Structure 1
Amino acid sequence: MFVRTESFSQFIRFYPIISIIVFIHLVLYGMTILPLVPHLWVYEQLAGVNLYIFNGEWWRLFTPIFVHMGFAHFLFNSFSLVLFGPALERFLGKFWFVTVYLGTGIIANIATYLFKPLTYSHVGASGAIFGLFGLYLAMVIFHKHMLTRQNKQIILPIVVIGLIMTFVQSGINLTAHVVGLLAGVAIGWVLLPRLKRTF
């Protein structure tokens, strides 16, 4: 389920949405390190700065999903998407995968705006990635028939480890992680019965 055996070209062909998202990650990260672009331009224009959102820059509820602070942040979130996303892109289909991914990411950013101070700023795809974790968790809790026992045994430790890391690491947007996860669970509870599919 989470083992990738495709070649690079096969991955792009089988999972075009994830490939596009990771490409956007790469382009925006590249813009933060290339001398042709002012160093902080990407963050100044696209980061989720609560004060700017309060002043009407609503696109900042969307754009932080694709922006990362440093190589490790970019690599970890992109790798997580490549590892955990393909099974859901195939299972949900392109439309619903995009809807769930962006929807949970935006919900996580709205929560960050509502519950964090106006001085708070953030970037990263973690809220959306935790939304995918939440969808998997919805299968485990509400729609057990959609997963094999083996897949359940894989998913639960991943979600638990992700939550533990959220609480023990510094500099993490705890609000986005938790709300993204809960949004994924809620969307999965409503959406999954309509699909009538199993892994």
Structure 2
Amino acid sequence: MQQLLSVALRGLLPKGPRNSIFKLCSFFNEICQGVVDRNKVEILEEDVAETLCMLERYFPPSFFDIMVHLTIHIGREVRLCGPVQYRWMYPFERYMKVLKGYVMNRARPEGCIAERYIVEENAMFCSKYIKQVSEIGSKPARNEEYESDFLVAGRTISKGKSLVLSNEMLKVAHRDVLLNSVEVAPYVQYLCEVYTFWDFKFFEIS
């Protein structure tokens, strides 16, 4: 978010909302560093309050839930507890996805998770005593099996779903992209002026 979002939104939004989102990305980029200066954190706390005020000018009230408000308190939390990378919840959220995959009976999700976890733990324990068998719990990471001196493309955690659009939907999507692209905006404005001019001439002649 703090590095790619600012690049993705460049040239897509007007200057006001774009700058406010850039400042929010810069705030998260600063607090996610390995070393954080306490004096700089105090300045960031003041800046993020100003950033939220800028967001209130360009986004509807439904955008501001409790998660947006929590950015006010992140600076104080960094001053008290240190860098956030040692305390964030990404590993636990990823493991929650694994546990949710254990659920086969939605009426009894806790039982499914408990039984599947016990079965995997027993299988992992038994695999340590079987020769010529790789341990169940020690499988390599998603991209380690492609070791080479070159960069390799990563793989997604879950498989995506393909969607085939009809010709009508493709035309609608193509038209929507053209009408909302900054590069095409001058041509659209020119065509509107030309059609307005000829409509005016038509009514003037008639």
- Using the size of structure 2 for normalisation, the TM-score is 0.27
Pick the structure with greater CA Rg. Answer: 2
Q: Which has the larger helix fraction?
A: 1
